[in-house]
């Protein structure tokens, strides 16, 4: 029997500071722009204040992209446009600076960390800092067998927790969380369908590199068969991850839970990160208060998961590439919200309520010019 009980996180995770958030809201009401003028940026600034327990909010100075990587046996069924076992090649592209997330991270000056949990390659082919947490070579084919053994599932969750602690201890103040996988969207659709009580066809999308109709039907069949194996173990999240998850998703679940314990805010990428988040929410209902949904990838399973967690995507650009790229695009928005919240001046004591002095002055100047 596992010594790890994910339900224990319920007592370990607290919500972001509600009193601080109210202070941030009151401060926003005193600033020169009326509340609501900045749209969702107001809400983001207040959320970040509560997460940091700081008014005014501090700038996001040490963000990091964290990507968990793995291959999934279900890809053998032809459910992905990517080659079976091809996640290692995707990881090498990230490390070489040649993937979309690497290009964006370089432009935004954000470091990228990749953790191999179950790539289908010799670990000696990868840098030690990438392969150090590997649990196994590839995850099992979830339509007919368990993805992981119980021991492997626990090791993967604990690896994710350890990575979260490392990031918090090193001073990372916000994480962009994504995956590098082949077959991962099929795993994500299965987990989300199981936890939302939804049929396979409702949650099955076409993946990062859109598959054709025949591949989509194979994917639906794989999710349907995996769901039959998932439903009997819904009461135990660790067993669910072992049965129809994978080492990368198990690690992401542990990472998200421990980030919430350590009060580290996270921007979620696409459907795979959302699936791990939904498992984590099932274990600890307060945990989603520490997360933002970076973007809407267009995957129907992601929409289901985000709706269940009451998370609204920051961006809706339809970025499907995965690997954290869509969520990283949302980082400048979060940083902008922090800057505006901290740096906009408050109204002068004699200024009219809810009116920006600069706007009045501008109007008077314009009137004088017209006269």
Give the tens place of pLDDT for each residue, 81-98.
888 999 999 999 999 999
Considering the domain architecture, whether residues 153 and 275 belong to the same structural domain is answered as: yes
Q: How far apart are CA 142 and CA 130, in angstroms?
A: 25
Considering the domain architecture, whether residues 27 and 119 belong to the same structural domain is answered as: no
| pTM metric for this prediction | 0.92
Considering the domain architecture, whether residues 281 and 313 belong to the same structural domain is answered as: yes
Considering the domain architecture, whether residues 357 and 300 belong to the same structural domain is answered as: no
Q: Which of 275, 128, 108, 68 minimizes the C-alpha distance to 189? A: 275
Considering the domain architecture, whether residues 38 and 70 belong to the same structural domain is answered as: no
Catalytic residue among 312, 323, 356, 360: 323
Structural domain includes residue 236: yes
Structural domain includes residue 5: no
What are the beta bridge partners of residue 346?
Answer: 31
Structural domain includes residue 6: no
Question: Which distant-in-sequence residues (6+ apart) come within 8 Å of 59 by Cβ?
Answer: 335, 338, 339, 342
Cα three-residue angle 157-158-160, rounded to 5 degrees: 65
Considering the domain architecture, whether residues 353 and 293 belong to the same structural domain is answered as: no
pLDDT on residue 18: 93
Q: What is the CATH number of the domain that holds 24?
A: 1.10.1610
Considering the domain architecture, whether residues 100 and 232 belong to the same structural domain is answered as: yes
User: Which residue positions in the chain have pLDDT lower than 50?
Assistant: 1, 352-371
Structural domain includes residue 9: no
pLDDT on residue 2: 62
Q: What is the CATH number of the domain that holds 181?
A: 3.40.50.10210
pLDDT on residue 3: 82
End-to-end CA distance of the chain: 84
According to DSSP, the β-strands at 112-118 and 174-182 are unpaired
Q: What range does the domain containing 343 cover?
A: 17-58+339-370
Considering the domain architecture, whether residues 162 and 261 belong to the same structural domain is answered as: yes
Considering the domain architecture, whether residues 288 and 346 belong to the same structural domain is answered as: no
Structural domain includes residue 262: yes
Return the SS3 of 23: helix
Considering the domain architecture, whether residues 344 and 326 belong to the same structural domain is answered as: no
Helix intervals (H) in the chain: 9-12, 18-30, 40-52, 87-95, 100-108, 128-131, 150-170, 184-196, 200-203, 213-230, 237-244, 247-261, 271-283, 300-309, 325-343, 357-370
Structural domain includes residue 7: no
Considering the domain architecture, whether residues 245 and 349 belong to the same structural domain is answered as: no
Q: How far apart are CA 241 and CA 161, in angstroms?
A: 15
Considering the domain architecture, whether residues 138 and 43 belong to the same structural domain is answered as: no
Listing DSSP states for 238-305 in one string gives: HHHHHHH--HHHHHHHHHHHHHHHTT--EEE-SHHHHHHHHHHHHH-TTGGGGEEE-B--S-HHHHHH
| Domains identified in the chain, total number | 2
Structural domain includes residue 168: yes
Catalytic residue list contains 323: yes
Structural domain includes residue 177: yes
């Amino acid at each position: 029997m596992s010594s790890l009980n994910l339900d224990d996180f319920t007592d370990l995770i607290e919500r972001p500071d509600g009193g601080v958030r109210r202070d941030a809201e009151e401060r926003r009401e005193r600033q020169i722009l009326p509340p609501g003028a900045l749209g969702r940026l107001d809400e983001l600034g207040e959320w970040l204040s509560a997460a940091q327990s700081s008014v005014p909010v501090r700038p996001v100075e040490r963000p990091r992209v964290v990507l968990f990587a793995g291959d999934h046996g279900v890809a053998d069924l032809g459910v992905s446009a990517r080659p079976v076992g091809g996640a290692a090649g995707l990881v090498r592209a990230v490390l070489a600076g040649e993937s979309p997330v690497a290009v964006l991270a370089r432009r935004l000056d954000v470091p990228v960390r990749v953790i191999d949990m179950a790539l289908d390659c010799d670990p000696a082919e990868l840098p030690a800092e990438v392969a150090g947490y590997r649990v196994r070579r590839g995850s099992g084919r979830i339509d007919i067998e368990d993805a992981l053994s119980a021991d492997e599932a626990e090791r993967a969750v604990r690896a994710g927790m350890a990575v979260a602690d490392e990031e918090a201890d090193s001073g990372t103040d916000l994480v962009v969380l994504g995956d590098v996988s082949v077959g991962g969207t099929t795993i994500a659709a299965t987990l989300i369908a199981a936890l939302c009580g939804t049929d396979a066809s409702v949650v099955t999308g076409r993946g990062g590199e859109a598959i054709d109709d025949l591949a989509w039907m194979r994917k639906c069949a794989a999710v349907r068969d995996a769901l039959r194996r998932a439903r009997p173990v819904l009461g135990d999240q660790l067993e669910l991850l072992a049965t129809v998850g994978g080492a990368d998703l198990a690690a992401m679940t542990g990472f998200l839970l421990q980030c919430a314990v350590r009060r580290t805010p996270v921007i979620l990428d696409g459907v795979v990160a959302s699936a791990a988040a939904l498992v984590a929410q099932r274990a600890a209902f307060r945990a989603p208060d520490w997360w933002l949904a970076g973007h809407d990838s267009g995957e129907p399973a992601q929409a289901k998961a985000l709706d269940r967690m009451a998370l609204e995507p920051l961006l809706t650009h339809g970025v499907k590439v995965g690997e954290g790229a869509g969520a990283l695009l949302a980082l400048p928005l979060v940083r902008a919200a922090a800057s505006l919240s901290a740096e906009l001046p408050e109204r002068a004591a004699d200024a009219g309520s809810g009116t920006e002095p600069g706007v009045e002055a501008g109007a008077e100047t314009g009137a004088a010019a017209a006269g």
